[in-house]
Structure 1
Amino acid sequence: TITLADSALTAGETTTVSFTFNEPVTGFDASDIVCTSGTLSAPTANTERTVWTATFTPTANVNVATNTIRVNLAGVSDDAGNAGTGSANSANYSVHTTRLTATITLADSALTAGETTTVTFRFNGPVNGLDTSDIVCTSGTLSAPTANAARTVWTATFTPTADANVPTNVIRVNLAGVTNEAGNAGTGSASSANYSVHTTRPTVSITLTDSALSAGESTTVTFTFNEPANNFDARDIVCPNGRLSALTENDERTVWTAT
């Protein structure tokens, strides 16, 4: 009779397999044994040679619900020299050693002021235990993730930090905090591709070279922005008691001047 100490094997586990014969046997070795979804160490016997044990190590990254260990009894003989006939099989055991993997995508990877985006966490199988404590995101905050019916796709809303200009960011999941249906925790982490956060709004300071204007005078007006500015023209400016020439900008588009 063939028994496994553990008949539901998950990632990182091994189990002891016992072969119990009705009398002392000789000639029993790995060549007499067929096992699926794993490997077996060389069997070792007790003093009476009636009980032999070996260690079963499941194959990594497989999900196989139906397996047996089989002994070819013709390769084994008792002390009288009688060989067995046929074979003996263990009861079924399962091997679920697939570890979690995840891909993380953002619907929008270039976030500006006032925007949010949906973040999708897609796993290679149903998962349990995913929450914000498993997720690290930079330059923003993430809502609690919610799962689809199959628990393979989870989504959350990312809200970028205000007044930030950060071109390099990732969202990372610590897979050790998440388990699949077999109870296997992931290892390592999964990261999104890079996204940028540019939520700083433009500000400007305005200076006049001469602030006390009399007949016949003009003056230079300087508009200094906190970052490069686009689409700045006379329609954006109100100046009473005078008129302003067309605006010209420096190479960086941070300083614009007019008369």
Structure 2
Amino acid sequence: ISDERLSAGETATVTFTFTERVTGFGTEDIQYDTSKGTLSALTAVGTDGKVWSATYTPRPDTESATNTIRVNLAGVQDAQGNAGTGSASSGNFTIDTKPPEVTVTISDNRLAAGQTATVTFTFNERVTGFDLNDVQYDTSKGTLGALTAVGTDGKVWSATYTPRSGIESADNTIRVNLAGVLDAQGNAGTGSVSSGNFSIDTKPPEVTVTISD
């Protein structure tokens, strides 16, 4: 197989090379996990009846570290009519067509004056390209500090959210736009993910005094 690490949008050429001219070789002799990918029709390479190729396309949203493509030789014959025996396997290849995902949590869902909250961004796998440009929130109601990596595995970041003063707001979220985030295989995230709702009340009480006649 031409590529041992397949990510989203990639395909690989699978080449079947026999030691001698054969007949009876078809896709029904090829065994692989069809839930993880598909193999195109076989194409003869050259005219000697020894080599065929096909294109392997991994399915989307798949993560699999162990994959092979095998040939059952029982249905294949050489020019003298000798049938093959047993099976032959490709080397192992990996598939990662699953985009990165994230969970956004906030440590306090009711923020008052003088309070801050820790916002934690937890990805399901190691990612690159994640920064504050990917984080969306209403900057008129609060500010988010710099991102700090939590641990060394490239999966978790945190930042401090500070509400602005004089704010009363019942509906607030912090979202991540995943389009700019890549996993180790280069798969880009899709869509956006939001934290749960949190409220802000940093507005001091006010009073109106009236005098009736």
Structure 2 Cα separation of the partners of residues 62 and 20 of structure 1: 28
> Which deviates more, 33-42 or 149-158?
33-42
Partner in structure 2 of residue 237 of structure 1: none
- Is the counterpart of residue 187 in structure 1 residue 183 in structure 2? no
Letter in 2 for 1:171: I
Q: Please list every run of 5 or more consecutive structure 2 residues that lacks an aligned counterpart in the other structure.
A: none
Q: 2:18 aligns with which of 17, 21, 25?
A: 21
Displacement, 1:155? 1.0
Partner in structure 2 of residue 122 of structure 1: 122
Find the residue that maps to 1:176 and give its secondary structure. Answer: helix
Displacement, 1:70? 1.2
Displacement, 1:57? 2.1
Give 1 or 2: higher strand fraction: 1
* Identity of matched residues, %: 52
Q: 1:169 aligns with which of 156, 167, 172?
A: 172
- What pairs up with 1:1-259 in 2 under 5 angstroms? 4-36=1-33, 37-46=36-45, 48=47, 49-138=49-138, 139-149=141-151, 150-204=153-207
Q: Which contiguous aligned blocks of 4+ residues in structure 1 show a shift greater than 6 angstroms?
A: none
Structure 1 Cα separation of the partners of residues 25 and 143 of structure 2: 62
Between structure 1 and structure 2, the one with the greater Rg is: 1
Letter in 2 for 1:144: A
CA displacement 1:17-46 (0-9 Å, x = unmatched): 121233443322222112244332232224
Structure 1 Cα separation of the partners of residues 93 and 199 of structure 2: 49
Letter in 2 for 1:50: K
> Which deviates more, 4-13 or 34-43?
34-43
Displacement, 1:111? 1.8
Bigger relative contact order, structure 1 or 2, given CA contacts below 8 A and separation 6+? 2
Structure 2 Cα separation of the partners of residues 45 and 141 of structure 1: 62
The alignment's C-alpha RMSD in Å is 2.3
CA displacement 1:104-162 (0-9 Å, x = unmatched): 11111122222211111122222222210111012222112222223332211111233
The normalised TM-score by structure 1 is: 0.70
The normalised TM-score by structure 2 is: 0.84
Find the residue that maps to 1:168 and give its secondary structure. Answer: coil
CA displacement 1:199-220 (0-9 Å, x = unmatched): 23344565667xxxxxxxxxx7
Structure 2 Cα separation of the partners of residues 190 and 5 of structure 1: 36
Count of aligned residue pairs for this structure pair? 207
